[in-house]
Amino acid sequence: MIGLFIDDIEVECDEEMTIMKAAESVGIEIPTICYHEKLTPPGLCRQCVVEVEGARVLLPSCVTKVREGMKVKTNSPRVQRVRKTILEMLAGSTDLSNAQGLQEQMKESGADSKRFDNSEKRVFPIKDDNPFYIRDYSKCIVCERCVQVCSEDIQFSYALTTSGRGYENRISTYYDKELPQTSCVFCGNCIDVCPTGALIARKESL
Amino acid sequence: MNTYDRIVRTTCPYCGVGCQLDLNIKDNSIISAIAPGNIAPNYGRLCVKGRFGTDFTHHKSRLKKPLIRKDLDVLPRIPCGIDGFREAEWEEALELAADRISNTYLKKGSSAFGTFCCAKATNEDNYLFQKFVRSVLKTNNIDHCARLCHAASVAGLQKALGSAAMSNSIGEMKDLELFIVTGSNTTETHPVISTFLREAVVKNGAKLIVIDPRKIELTGFAYLHLQQKPGTDVAVYQAMAHVIIKENLCNRDFIGKRTEGFQKYSETLDEFTPQWAEKISGVAAEKIIEAARLYAKAESAAIYWGMGISQSVHGTDNTLSIANLALMCGHLGRPGTGVNPLRGQNNVQGCSDSGGLPGVYPGYQNVSDPASKVKFEQVWNCELKDSAGLTTLEMSDAVGKGLISDFIIMGENPLMSEPDLNKAQKHFSELKNLIILDIFLNETGEYADIIFPAASFAEKEGTFTNSDRRVQLIRKAFDPPGEARADWEIINELAKRVERKTSQSPSSGFEFSSASDIWDEMADLVPAFSGISHKRIEKESGVHWPCPDKQHPGTPYLFADNFPRGKGLFNALTLRVESESTSTQYPYILSTGRVLYHWHGGTMTRRSVLDEICPEALLEMHPSDALKEGLSDNQMIRVSSPRGEISLKLKISDRSPEGVLFIPIHFAEASVNKLTNDLRDPEAKIPDYKICSVQVSSESD
Amino acid sequence: MNEQLLRDLLLYLNNLGISSRTELLPSLLKAQKLFGYIPEEAIEIISEKLGVSQVEIYGVISFYSLLYVKPTADTVIRICTSPLCSQKGSHKIQKALQEKLGIKEGIPSTDGLFMVESVHCLGLCAHSPSALVNEIPICHISENKLDDLIEGKGSKPLARAFSDNPVLTSRFGTIEADSINDFIREDGFKGFIHALTLDQETIISNVKASGLLGRGGAAFPTGLKEESTAKDEAKEVYVICNADESEPGTFKDRVMLLNDPYSVLEGMLITAYAIGSHKGFIYIRGEYDQAQELFAKVLKNAEEKGYLGENILNSGFSFHVEIRSGAGAYICGEETALFESIEGKRGYPRNKPPYPVDSGVFGKPTDINNVETFSYISRIFGEKRDNSSTRLFCLSGDVKRAGLYELPFGIPLIELINDWGGGTKEDRKIKTIILGGASGSFVPEKYWDIPLDQKSLREAGLSMGSGVIMVFDETKEIPSILNDISSFFNHESCGKCYPCQLGSRKQHEIISRIHKSGPLPDDRDKLLDIGFTMKDASLCGLGQTASSAVLSAINLWPELFTAKGGPLQ
Ligand SMILES: Cc1cc2nc3c(=O)[nH]c(=O)nc-3n(C[C@H](O)[C@H](O)[C@H](O)COP(=O)(O)O)c2cc1C
Ligand code: SF4
Ligand code: SF4
Ligand code: FES
């Protein structure tokens, strides 16, 4: 057991815990996007960053472990600015209309969803290539959860990957083939973890 | 976006994994399904069937009213579609069914009845069904399709250990160290289990040995693949045992403390050298030796198998050869260490547990054991038969011989699942009375006199017991269509009427008002269930039996301290070669099995969106055979055996070795059981589904 | 499909020592070389042989700029469009070239003969504008010499250094770079042989005492890294030389590798011996074909002479080095992305901790250093030098003598530019100076005479990174320079983390608009929010520094970013 301070609250916890879990244990909820209980945290969305005294940059609380005597601020002005800007840029890149969680976070952080409206959005035709589910990558935020699920966090079916680089990162199949032509077994485990409705069961999308 | 208005937690109606499922319901219709978080057995994972395949519940061909055959009592009966029936009111149908049953009972006696309970129905349905059969019809002629899938595993493990269930839980799989998968195409038959197995390999560095004639998908994850010729399993396992003893790799301590018959058994192994096995099985001796060493030297090691081991004329021997191996290495009774027949259907474990077998009452209490008989007689208020009944195929034989005239079937589809279907169909066409409870009119239903429309898994309460003995709840998500009723409600009604019409009193008790009450009666009678109730499962989401009392936590892995039979028993084996052999006329071996997108006889999956992605049966043939026969992909092929013929499309693939063909079992229009051979394992009475000889020709010839 | 080529690929794969994922990038580069792209059939064979799923291979290919899933051309001409070359007109040259060949960027000519692409920084910044014709570097390209360019002709880069007291560059020009005998004659391997007589702790404490700070950009104490890697003796430990040099304005590692490669190997040997490592990698960027070839010879010669391999110089110590080629991704210079790349994955940086010294390549403790750092280590033991000495500076831009300089720490910036670099061309006024490359920042005029040492720079809020000094004269425009810089990050962000994936694009969109048509009222606020978000919340150093230049520009020239400031000149 070690002790630390989170938002001035003294917290005792196991030293293997992440800052996020430690905060949770005293009722402080830190917003997340890419984090999912079932999956290896990739630490990529940076929505969960917190300010740790002495650290040069903000740290992702989902993967950063607690340390003895650490002083953590989960909602400082620096943190707020980052969270809000990330959400605004996301909204300026992706159709978040079905991403309920993200919409709530925007409201919470006071993010202006239209701030980056005159920038180039990532828009793609809907992929409707199988009887089970639909892929609408205009709604995809490349959190890579589906890729994790399909490869080594759950399914080991290896039908999905992230392709491209940077802003051009996309979720793709092998050569972008239609799903029935790939190793996809339509377990739909990816749908369960998709936070944006980019992957959606056909009947739900109607 | 179409959001749902409620979520109902339930258990998947398909394979034996028993995944927990949240059905998203809108306007009393399932619009999607998701896997609930971190709970056993699937820990948030699903396969395509569980996630997308529950739409069969809304299929337009669901039975909504009782049906009575129009040309009742015209023999031989001819299979008819829905037009051959008329809809009837419940009262009329129940009265008619009860009359016909009572008539036979009074005129011909108990032995004229054959009954099938159902591996897809709940424990409660099955308990009540067998209670009806045993206490009212006074026969032990009750069986179900476990006979056709894992009977040999059951026979073998009962003999060697005294219990036939999977000895390890699914939760243990991802932490395996070494494991053997044999005769199981796990990725397609138990998709969610296969994800844990692959996780063990990829993430834990577990070593997987696949022993299977087919190059199944798991071989891509395997450290070793022993590709034996079909039907030579015993040779491979005996040779592994030979190596283990010769190299002194056995666990003497375990053998001494927990087994018997080792000395005698080990003396029989001399001739079973790996070189000998290589000749028989085609597996290189070095591979057998390596596999034996890996298995024996592993700290913990588990064996998983499926139909490839059990559906064989020597399925019991296959199982025993596996049990011998586990016993000599002491690979039993620890986490990740054991013997595990992967059960095929959602409740095939539970159906057997609930007494759906000819020789045992619920909880595997022998009908011929006087104490058990007395116990059940007292609770059921009646006299019971103390001799075991007939097994599935024996009942079919008895129909052929005119000994059984009446059949009552709950949910099963023998005219898809029995071997040599042409023969089975002939038998069924000669029945005097055939009463069926089902959710659809299936291939067997077409022969019925009366069909009662039943509720599906989403329309009733009850429990399923999955492959690792976990008892879990199903919950009612919406009302059954039309006037359909839960099976147990139908049995309640029917049993009471038959009791009345055959003047049996006092009643054995068919006044249940809930599935939970039925469970409680069974739990009182079955020590392994005593600590389990619907309430408790509700709280814990599932309990592994044995669970003898309310404080007991349940038992994820078996045999920690002892075996149900006391000591584990070694069984000497010989190699028997009894399967149908190929000939110039029938030069290919045909194997049957399952595919990912369908299940069992296809009654449910063929009426689901699943059928869109996999709408037809495909004949799998090795490229060199196809070349030899001059056949090409997608061509229509006629496949015939000495017993029948079917036509289907060709898919060239090197999954099966040369000379071996594969056809899935789910497709009525290409019903592969027309070809299979009704040759049975002498002990388990399971037929030799995986081997029969066939010829092929192009349809257009 | 060319069956013969497929057989060649198969042969290559069959001859691999280990068939596992770590061979993925080398195999893909092999296929790329054989076919000019990576056809589906090749992916299938590679997938089967290395046990990597096809879809992952597809994802990997699409990450790296030098790997293609579609056919390229016999001659691929890559024009550098990074700030320095761009400012010298490379965009216009590229356009002219494309027009001449009648093709569009990135699309091969119909006859399959030519393809033109822009790339970001070829490490030829002292000779801009520059290009790569297949593997051949061409300097000082111009619109007048397009025919030469097409044929791969033109001036070759000079690989020399200027110094009045050379330490790191002392052997430059005095030895044949590939000659091990020359190297030994010039005191080569003396440091290593000396180190072999010391115990491991002594070696490490010597490195610590030297005060050596890493020369790859982050200036981390080298000795400390060695110490942390060495502490865990039981495990496999790796030594990696980071020669992915891709920061615009940096070319020192290329010049070092072409002039004194053995000294780099020597530094690796000393380090390996000190931390108990038996396996090393040198990750050389894919565009440095010549350096890769040369280093292959170096390894071969060293092995033949007993300086590498099993039981080196009968000391009982064994060490092997493998060359790994990059495949066109700046991010792979980031140490953890480099590990991923060696492991056969997309070059995504990892969250730290765990740090490389605890869990680096293959999850094992890894000591990774820059080329210059290793070369320097060899001197610590060879000539007993301490840290008060020199470092390499890459001077480029509008100066008379752009090039590599080895000079003492603390030399004033302006002195370096004027006295060593000869001042600006035609003695124009300096408009601005950038320290640290694209990820560095503009130096305020008051600091133009700042002494170039760690302490002074830190106090001024500046960083020299990998020793980059870029000089722009009065003919250049800030928005245009910024546009080149933001374009670089837009192209090179790996896209893993949101602040940088989104920020690098949004930043570039705004900057390029400002460059074209002037700022809108809220551009400045947006750039500040984006910039701080990238700096404060990005996962790795790339994102954390991708807004440095923009933020420093907003600070220095606020009028350029406010609409009220009027139209741009
Ligand atoms: C985006 C990015 C690119 C980098 N590229 C290089 C590079 O090309 N060469 C290099 O030596 N270090 C590079 N680094 C720094 C490395 O991560 C690492 O700090 C360095 O290799 C350590 O060596 P040193 O201690 O000798 O400086 C880069 C860092 C980042 C964030
Ligand atoms: S499809 Fe969904 S789960 Fe996959 S990366 Fe996009 S948003 Fe994430
Ligand atoms: S900061 Fe940029 S380069 Fe680094 S991980 Fe994030 S997206 Fe990738
Ligand atoms: S939740 Fe995405 S980085 Fe932590």
Over residues B455-463, the mean pLDDT reads 97
CB-based contacts of B323, cutoff 8 Å, min separation 6: B156, B157, B160, B161, B339, B568, B571
Within-domain flag for A65: yes
CA of C331 to the centre of ligand 1 (A): 9
**Pairwise CB contact (< 8 Å): C501 & A169:** yes
Q: At what angle do helices B285-297 and B315-329 cross, to 10 degrees?
A: 50
3-class DSSP assignment, residue C162: strand
CB-based contacts of B522, cutoff 8 Å, min separation 6: B123, B124, B127, B354, B362, B529
Q: Which amino acid is at B135?
A: S
Give B374: exposed, middle or buried? Use CB within 10 Å, 0-12, 13-18, 19+. Answer: exposed
User: CA of A107: how far to CAs of A48, A88, A101, B3, C533, in Å?
Assistant: 16, 11, 10, 21, 19
Q: Quickly name the fold that domain C161-380 has.
A: Rossmann fold (3.40.50)
Give alpha helix (H) positions in B176-298.
186-189, 191-204, 233-246, 252-258, 262-267, 274-281, 285-297
Q: Quickly name the fold that domain C390-473 has.
A: Ubiquitin-like (UB roll) (3.10.20)
CA dist A45 and C539 (Å) reads 9
Q: Which residues pair with C355 in a beta bridge?
A: none
Checking ipTM against 0.90, whether it exceeds it is: yes
Report whether B81 contacts B458 (CB < 8 A): no
pLDDT at res. C385: 54
Residue in A closest to B46 by C-alpha: A187
The closest CB to that of A90, out of C40, C502, C504, belongs to C502
> Is residue C329 within 6 Å of ligand 3 at its C-beta?
no
User: CA of C369: how far to CAs of B481, C210, C282, C363, C552, in Å?
Assistant: 71, 16, 10, 17, 29
A192 contact residues in B (CB cutoff 8 A):
34-35, 44, 46
Q: What is the mean pLDDT of chain C?
A: 94
All structural domains of chain B: 6-58 (2.20.25.90), 67-144+346-541 (3.40.50.740), 151-342 (3.40.228.10), 588-698 (2.40.40.20)
pLDDT at C160 over 50: yes
Over residues A153-173, the mean pLDDT reads 97
pLDDT at A20 over 70: yes
Of A75, A98, A120, the residue that ends a domain is A75
A162 contact residues in C (CB cutoff 8 A):
59, 346, 495
- Percentage of the residues of chain C whose pLDDT score is greater than 90: 93
User: CA of B201: how far to CAs of B127, B298, B464, in Å?
Assistant: 40, 14, 30
Mutational pocket test of ligand 2: of A199, A200, A204, A205, the residue with most ligand atoms within 8 Å of the beta carbon: A199
C524 contact residues in A (CB cutoff 8 A):
none
Within-domain flag for A176: yes
Which domain, by its residues, includes A192? Answer: 133-205
Q: Poorest-confidence range of B173-182, C82-91, C558-567?
A: C558-567
pLDDT at B94 over 70: yes
pLDDT at res. C568: 45
Within-domain flag for A96: no
CA dist B145 and B347 (Å) reads 11
pLDDT at B6 over 70: yes
- The two counts, helices (H) then strands (E), for chain B are 24, 28
C50 contact residues in A (CB cutoff 8 A):
none
**Pairwise CB contact (< 8 Å): C509 & A85:** no
Nearest to B569 by CA among B240, B334, B324: B324
3-class DSSP assignment, residue B150: coil
CATH code assigned at A25: 3.10.20.740
Over residues B12-36, the mean pLDDT reads 94
Number of residues assigned to chain B: 701
Q: What is the pLDDT of residues B100-150, one digit of tens each?
A: 999 999 999 999 999 999 999 999 999 999 999 999 999 999 999 888 888
pLDDT at res. C567: 47
Count chain A–chain C contacts defined by CB atoms under 8 A.
139
Domain count, chain A: 2
pLDDT at res. C387: 47
CATH code assigned at A164: 3.30.70.20
Report the DSSP pairing between strands B67-69 and B360-361: unpaired
- Domains of chain C by residue range: 3-63, 75-150, 161-380, 390-473, 478-561
Q: Which amino acid is at B638?
A: R
Over residues C235-262, the mean pLDDT reads 96
Q: How far is CA A113 from its chain centroid?
A: 17
B191 contact residues in A (CB cutoff 8 A):
185, 187
Running DSSP on this structure, what letter comes out for residue A149?
Answer: I
Of A46, A75, A104, the residue that ends a domain is A75
Q: Which ligand places an atom closest to the C-alpha of A171?
A: 2
CA of A19 to the centre of ligand 4 (A): 12
Quickly state the pLDDT bin for B153 (edges 50, 70, 90). Answer: very high
**Pairwise CB contact (< 8 Å): C498 & A45:** yes
Among B22, B23, B51, B188, which would you mutate to test the A interface (most chain A Cβ atoms within 10 Å of its Cβ)?
A: B51
Ligand 1 atom nearest C374 alpha carbon: 26
Quickly state the pLDDT bin for B468 (edges 50, 70, 90). Answer: confident
The closest CB to that of A154, out of B24, B51, B195, belongs to B195
**Predicted structure pTM score:** 0.94
Nearest to C496 by CA among A95, A60, A81: A60
For C478-561, give the CATH class.
Answer: mainly alpha
Interchain contact A89–C (C-beta under 8 A): yes
Chains that touch C (3 or more CB pairs under 8 A): A
Interchain contact C496–A (C-beta under 8 A): yes
pLDDT at res. B578: 86
The closest CB to that of C59, out of A45, A86, A163, belongs to A163
Nearest to B429 by CA among B411, B443, B412: B443
CA of A36 to the centre of ligand 2 (A): 12
Within-domain flag for A84: no
pLDDT at C569 over 50: no
Q: Poorest-confidence range of B514-518, C1-5, C71-75, C394-398?
A: C1-5
Instruction: Show the tokens assigned to B523.
Output: 């739990």
For C75-150, give the CATH class.
Answer: alpha beta
State the sign of the Cα–Cα–Cα–Cα dihedral B288, B289, B292, B298: negative
pLDDT at res. A165: 98
